[in-house]
Chains A and B, each alone.
Chain A
């Protein structure tokens, strides 16, 4: 569904040349939920913007459903970290969700249906008439998720969506995303700096090296599909996986990869670059 091959992004300006992303290659299958983690400042956002068609890569390409991305693809939705700056404060919640649908030239009846359905699935049916700033941070991010759902994307990009909410809300939102993913079968690429979150949510975790960025390791998360905050997070396997990811990230910061997770037969890490 999502193919990233040889992606490279170099920022050039005022005599400085910053290689943010060196060479990234990975794929996300249709209906898969993949988490991207990496040390802070490793170009996660750059990568996501290239995937979302908001930035043009210096080399390499991104394909969504086989089509090459040159601008924001119509079957892709993005949830940004800064919900307060991503929702339009002059529009009510319902209008925020509806605006992209108007651009898609959908009929009024269909739009109403999609808006109501999306708001219901994030538990905000009653908030349609409120302004975003009247809601709590967690609820605002739910609105942003509802807007993405109503857009009916094939691929959903989430850029550290829960970095700015408190821990309890974050746990709720994680379960919401996982629930929606299982219900709707959307392909999700979830960028985070939170290792626990990546392991808890993902079917697969891509560990990025520090900048200039390459894929350090791809790790299959062989936890059961039914996950919950209480049991999954104390499962021994969860601890092993998160420890491994943690070590990899520490190694990425130092620049020396550690050994592969030995007990895991399903890990599909490619040979190191």
Chain B
């Protein structure tokens, strides 16, 4: 029992050590700073609660999160659906692949002005920007995953009458799920970036908008708190993602460990 506790204590120490060192280094390096653009960390941290509670949480953070969720959700649904179709049919793949490679190579931020032209400057535009950037890694990974379904598994499913929707649900999508999750993970960080960028262009609220406002108003410590908040947000999202992934792909990690042990 005590060995277990020691083990967890050690792991916690390892996880916390580097961030603690970095924050400490920042703290002491900026301690006596008088530079307006590099305020002491102490100032940033004391400003943080004032900036990001109450009204601003409701008017900026929540709308940003809602856009991210909507855009990411649309991308996930569209990416997995299209990817499944493209991955399942060789002909469709042959037709689509060059186009996909081209579209994927276009950096998503340059789409902001384009999308603005037909989606306006409201939430629709921001959701469209986020979705249009997130969809590619999800789509391409799904295509690969669906294509790689084991031939013996396919034949097993066929000979036991597991066809159509059941085959999709119980065999194809499950088998492709490790790749799909890899795509979803890449898309998550892209989504966060595009959320901020789309709000910097034309917006009246949101995290990106607020950070730019602070910068323009020379509220430098406030601007820094926004950057910190974004970092924290990314961290929390990736932890949540890991939790979901661990539940959904428990079998995959187990299988991998099992085959590693035996070989």
Binding site for B on A (CB under 8 A): 49, 52-54, 72, 74, 76-78, 80, 82, 85-86, 88-91, 99-100, 102-104, 131, 133-134, 147, 151
Contact = CB atoms under 8 A, between A and B. Distances in A.
A112 B166 CA distance: 19
Contact of A82 (B152, B161, B166, B177): B152
Given A88-B174, A102-B166, A151 B258 contact: no
A52 B155 CA distance: 10
B178 to A, nearest CB: 10
B156 A80 contact: yes
A78 B156 contact: yes
Interface in B166-216: 166, 170-171, 174-175, 177
Report which residue of B153, B159, B160, B174 has the largest number of chain A beta carbons within 10 angstroms of its beta carbon. Answer: B159
Given A80-B152, A131-B255, 20 more contacts: A52-B159, A72-B158, A72-B161, A78-B156, A85-B150, A86-B152, A86-B156, A90-B174, A90-B251, A91-B251, A99-B162, A100-B161, A100-B162, A103-B160, A103-B163, A103-B166, A104-B161, A131-B254, A133-B251, A133-B259
A74 B162 CA distance: 11
Nearest to A85: B152
Contacts of A91: 170, 174, 251
Interface string B222-261: 0000000000000000000000000000011011001100
Interface of B: 150, 152-153, 155-156, 158-163, 166, 170-171, 174-175, 177, 251-252, 254-255, 258-259
Contacts of B158: 54, 72
Q: Chain B interface secondary structure, helix, strand, loop or mixed?
A: helix
B153 A74 contact: no
B159 A78 contact: yes
Contacts of B156: 78, 80, 86
B238 to A, nearest CB: 24
A232 B251 CA distance: 42
13 contacts: A49-B155, A54-B159, A76-B159, A78-B156, A85-B152, A86-B152, A89-B252, A99-B160, A100-B161, A102-B166, A104-B161, A131-B251, A147-B160
A99 B159 contact: no
B153 A134 contact: no
B252 A72 contact: no
A133 B254 contact: yes
A88 B170 contact: yes
A101 B68 CA distance: 41
A104 B163 CA distance: 11
Nearest to A53: B159
Nearest to B162: A103
Contacts of A134: 254, 258
A102 B164 CA distance: 13
Contacts of A89: 251-252, 255
Contacts of A86: 152-153, 156
A77 B159 contact: yes
B160 A151 contact: yes
A100 B160 contact: yes
B162 A54 contact: no
A231 B193 CA distance: 73
A104 B255 CA distance: 29
A90 B177 contact: yes
Contacts of B170: 88, 91, 99
A189 to B, nearest CB: 13
